Amino acid sequence: MEKRQSGFTLIEMMVVVAIIGILAGALFGGYNFAVRAARKAKAVEAVANARTALEILFQKAEGWPHAILKATTHEQGFFVMDDNVAKVLFKYGLLGVDCKGDPSKAISSYKLRGVDRCGIADPWAQDVLKKSKYRDSEGNSLLSEPVPAGGTVRDHLIYFAVDQDDDGFVTKEEGAPVGRVRAKAITWCAGADGGLCDCSTAAPKTMSAAGRMISNTDNVYSWQRAQEAKSK
């Protein structure tokens, strides 16, 4: 009489393990894709909200406050949505700014918790800031915190440019990364890789000044490309 086999053979076990591996891989890949898509949607919302806030500010103040025009300049000439802008938005109660403490003090005195709460960091940086446990360190060191997708927290702040001469266009001279955009204010973030490209180039990948390949396909803008107007 044939002995009845109990349990699984090695082959059966290997097949089961392989199937579980394939299923897990598919699920994890789908999960990663969903996380990326959700972060990009949040980034689109954040830059759009920032632009709306700046436009409301322009109407309320009947011009751009001096503090905004003197905001920190990025090495490429763009304005970073930083302490100065956050303080102005705080003053006018815009952009959901809810920094605790004395608004006359630098946001860095909030240990960068302010940057997160003021909504001026993109979703990739906000994720890093949430996981940083708000440890008691200088704001600058948190700005240098690496972001897994690319760059540091500083590379993931929201950028802006405004129509300083009130001619209805934001131009390269005013910090726009393109020639001319018909708008009062434009905002953007660098996207998942933390790298900004010259938007006027068609190349999907560009070498940054630091020698890092950066993608412009994931950059998030508050303006439509159709709004760009050619310079004379």
Among 126, 187, 219, 222, binds Ca ion (CB under 5 A): 219
With H, G, I as helix, E, B as strand and everything else as coil, classify residue 121.
strand
- Binders of Ca ion among residues 156 to 215 (CB under 5 A) are 163, 165, 167, 169, 190-191, 193, 195, 215
Q: How far is the CB of 121 from Ca ion (least distance, A)?
A: 15
CB of 57 or CB of 99, closer to Ca ion: 57
Q: How far is the CB of 194 from Ca ion (least distance, A)?
A: 7
Q: Tell me 207's DSSP state.
A: E
CA distances from 1 to 4, 8, 150 (A): 9, 20, 66
Residue with tokens 């003090």: 105
CB of 116 or CB of 218, closer to Ca ion: 218
Taking CB under 5 A as the binding criterion, the range among 3-11, 23-31, 43-51, 219-227 that sits at the site for Ca ion is 219-227
Q: Residue 49: exposed, middle, or buried by beta-carbon count in 10 A (0-12, 13-18, 19+)? A: middle
Residues touching Ca ion, count (CB under 5 A)? 11
Q: How many CB atoms are closer than 10 A to CB 7?
A: 6
Cα distance from N-terminal residue to C-terminal residue, the chain: 95
Three state DSSP letters for 174-193: HCCCCCEECCCEEEEECCCC
CB of 90 or CB of 221, closer to Ca ion: 221
CB of 142 or CB of 189, closer to Ca ion: 189
CB of 140 or CB of 217, closer to Ca ion: 217
CA neighbor of 43 nearest in space, from 175, 218, 176, 184: 218
E strand intervals along the chain: 79-80, 159-162, 170-171, 180-181, 185-189, 205-207, 213-215, 220-221, 228-229
Contact between 98 and Ca ion by CB under 5 A: the answer reads: no
Angle between helices 123-131 and 10-61 (to 10 degrees): 110
- Binders of Ca ion among residues 63 to 92 (CB under 5 A) are none
Ranked by CB distance to Ca ion, the top (closest) residue is 191
Q: How far is the CB of 104 from Ca ion (least distance, A)?
A: 30
CB of 83 or CB of 218, closer to Ca ion: 218
Which residues contact Ca ion (rule: CB under 5 A)?
A: 163, 165, 167, 169, 190-191, 193, 195, 215, 218-219
